[in-house]
Amino acid sequence: MYTLFLKIATRYLLKNKLYSFINIFGLAIGVASFVLIMLYVNYEESYDKFEGSENIHRVYMDYLEGDEYVPGDANAYIVSGPTLIDEFPEIQDFVRLRRVSGLVLLHDNIVFDNQAGALADPSYFNIFDRSLEKGDIQTALNEPYSMVLSAALAKKIFGEANPIGKSLKIAGGGDTLSKVTGVLNSDVPNSHINNDFLVSFKTFYTWPVFEQDWQYTWNQNEYYTYLKIDENADIELLNQKVMAFEPEGLKNERHHLEPIEDIHLYSNKPYEAEANGSGSSVKLLAIIAFITILLSWMNYVNLSTSKSLERAKEIGVRKIVGARRPQFILQSFIESGLLNIIAIAFQIFTVLAILIASMGLFGLTSYTVVQRKKEIGIRKVNGATVPQILQLLNKDFVKWVGIAFLAAVPISWFAMDKWLEGFAYRTEISWWIFALAGMTALGIAFLTVTWQSLQAANANPVDSLRDE
């Protein structure tokens, strides 16, 4: 029985090639768009997700402006981590990263320039759940002038040779010779802060590059500081206590905590380690993905509904010869499934949406034409011309597109104006952009509707009125 239904579904799709093409193409675009957008959304939301990441928070500073505090830099002070862990028992560990970028590494007189790294406490591996491909994770960053390389940089400098124990010269403010004590595992999660290499934090106190910063005070706020919080701690309560804490020597500022998982999409503070993403854009893309696939399904339903009226006789004949209601339902599911399967097999998304909307309009036109088939036949018998029939069928659709455009203009203008306010240098929103969009929308609607309406207007009225 299932084989029979599959054969019937296949023959029906082959017999109705235009219907099948529009349904398959529309579903394919919708599903492909949904998958591609959600892959990107999933990628953006995967930043800083690792084992224990829900307990890792970054410390940043709020600045006092007038009578209230406002979010400040993404950095904290060199003493922020040690001070907070001594003050609050909920804090289990901390790590500081002092970024050093644009440095030159030398090995056997070969220059490797524009490398970005950081000074890091030994707790780096515990905080970020990183592992080493080579080297001892317990001691890799314990001693001054110890260095851990990324897997890519280690291969670039040493090739396939084992770099452990070999030395690299770091040029800048005096040549410094460091020993490679580890190679980071290349299988790491996406992160808002990436480093080609790490140098032990103890190197800070003797490295000539930082000679002006050797004082351990509240005057150095160039350190990305991350805290590991007890999993049973009340984060909100701890954050309130951290913000209320006023360490001696810190004036007109306070510490503030933020989850590491939120940094990439929701932070965007001054002096971020790297350019972050946009949480609002990612949410908007996710909404677009669901709207796109919903439009595809709605178009499919519209076309299927219009075609079901044409199959009334087929259904009647099959019921006479003994077909039952569950069999009709099963066949419908098989046909729908076949269409979907084919369719799935310290800018672009706008074009796809237009295509899908046009297909939806095509489906509605088909449905309207089928419903008004006899009316069109009667009008033609009584002398209506083809242009008059086209005007009759087109005016309703064009009217609603026009109304939709008028409703969308103020909303889109307001949204674009607010979005442009976030840029230091912004362009003005010109009236011709909306005029062009309106004319394009009307043109697409007119072409989509006219093609189907023209077929109905040119049809022989005898075929429409034969059973009357």
Clarify whether residues 229 and 359 are in a common domain.
Answer: no
Residues 328 and 242 in one domain: no
The answer to whether residue 64 sits within a structural domain is: no
Asked if the structure places residue 425 within a domain, the reply is yes
Q: Do 35 and 140 belong together in one domain?
A: no
Q: Nearest Cα to 191, choosing from 103, 85, 264? A: 264
Q: Would 90 be classed as within a structural domain?
A: yes
Task: Give which of 187, 189, 82 is closest to 132, Cα–Cα.
Answer: 187
Report how many domains make up the chain: 2
What span, in angstroms and rounded, lies between the C-alpha atoms of 266 and 272? Answer: 12
With b for 16 or more beta-carbon neighbours within 10 A and e for fewer, the 229-241 pattern comes to beeeeebeebbee
Cβ count near 121 (within 10 Å) = 25
Domain around 19: 2-41+279-345+347-465
Check whether residue 331 and residue 434 sit in a common domain: yes
Q: How far is CA 352 from the centre of its chain?
A: 17
- C-alpha separations of 338 from 10, 11, 13, 34, 345 in Å: 8, 12, 9, 19, 11
pTM: 0.65
CB 10 within 8 A of CB 338: yes
pLDDT tens for 29-59 read 777 788 888 888 888 888 999 989 999 999 9
Query: Which of the listed residues 233, 249, 265 is the one where a domain comes to its end?
Result: 249
Query: How does DSSP classify residue 232?
Result: T
For 208, the 3-state DSSP assignment is helix
Structure tokens belonging to residue 216: 């351990």
- List, for residues 160-184, the tens digit of each pLDDT value: 899 999 988 887 655 678 899 999 9
Examine the fold and report which residue of 202, 228, 249 is the final residue of a domain before the chain moves on: 249
Residue 412 burial by Cβ neighbours in a 10 Å radius (0-12, 13-18, 19+): middle
Asked if the structure places residue 193 within a domain, the reply is: yes
Q: Is residue 198 part of a domain?
A: yes
Q: Clarify whether residues 244 and 308 are in a common domain.
A: no
Residue 320 lies in a domain: yes
Does residue 37 share a domain with residue 86? no
Query: Residues in the chain with pLDDT < 50?
Result: 345, 347, 424-425, 468
Tell whether 102 is covered by a domain.
yes
330 with 415, same domain?
Answer: yes
Look at residue 233 and tell me if it is in a domain: yes
Cβ contacts of 70 within 8 Å, gap of 6 or more: 62, 63
31, 296 contact by CB (below 8 A): yes
Cα separation, 146 vs 181, in Å, equals: 6
Nearest to 81 by CA among 212, 229, 230: 229
- 351 shares its domain with 435: yes
Domain identity same for 210 and 107: yes
- If one counts every other C-beta atom within 10 angstroms of the C-beta of residue 128, the result is 23
**Nearest CA among 31, 7, 1, 24 for reference residue 336:** 24
Domain shared by 164 and 88, yes or no: yes
Q: Is residue 335 located within the same domain as residue 429? A: yes
By the 8 A CB rule, do 141 and 120 touch? Answer: yes
> How far is Cα 262 from Cα 257, in angstroms, rounded to an integer?
11
Asked if 390 and 454 count as a contact pair (C-beta separation under 8 A), the reply is yes
Based on the fold, state whether residues 305 and 229 are members of the same structural domain.
Answer: no
